[in-house]
Every structure is written in structure tokens, then in C-alpha cells.
Amino acid sequence: MIVVLLMYAVPYTSLSGIAGPYAFMFWTLIAAAYLVFVFIVIRK
């Protein structure tokens, strides 16, 4: 759930108004990190 909250909070606060690939990269990386986390947890 923390991941989901970050997906709302970070782009609308820290990255707000900053033109460039930052929001795109943030959402992509956090989703990829969550996928890796699920992969590790599910394999246990």
C-alpha cells in the first residue's frame, strides 16, 4: 500500500511542475520495483 500511496504523492508533490522524463521514470521504476518485490515474495 505504501507503493500505491507513493504513486499518488510523489508526482503530485516533489515532481509537480518539473518538465522532463522524471514523472514517467518515477512511475515506471516504482512499478518495476513492485513487480520485483512480488516476484521475490511469491517465490518464497
Which residue ranges make up the site for another protein (CB under 8 A)? 1, 3-4, 7-8, 11-12, 15-24, 27-28, 30-32, 34-35, 38-39, 41-43
Q: Output the smallest distance, CB 26 to another protein, in A.
A: 9
Q: Please write down the long-range contacts of 40-44, taking CB distance under 8 Å and 24 or more positions apart.
A: none
CB of 30 to another protein, least distance (A): 8
In the bound complex, what is the minimum distance in angstroms from residue 9's beta carbon to another protein? Answer: 10
H helices of 1-44, where? 2-12, 22-43
Please answer whether residues 39 and 15 qualify as being in contact, where contact means their C-beta atoms are separated by less than 8 angstroms: no
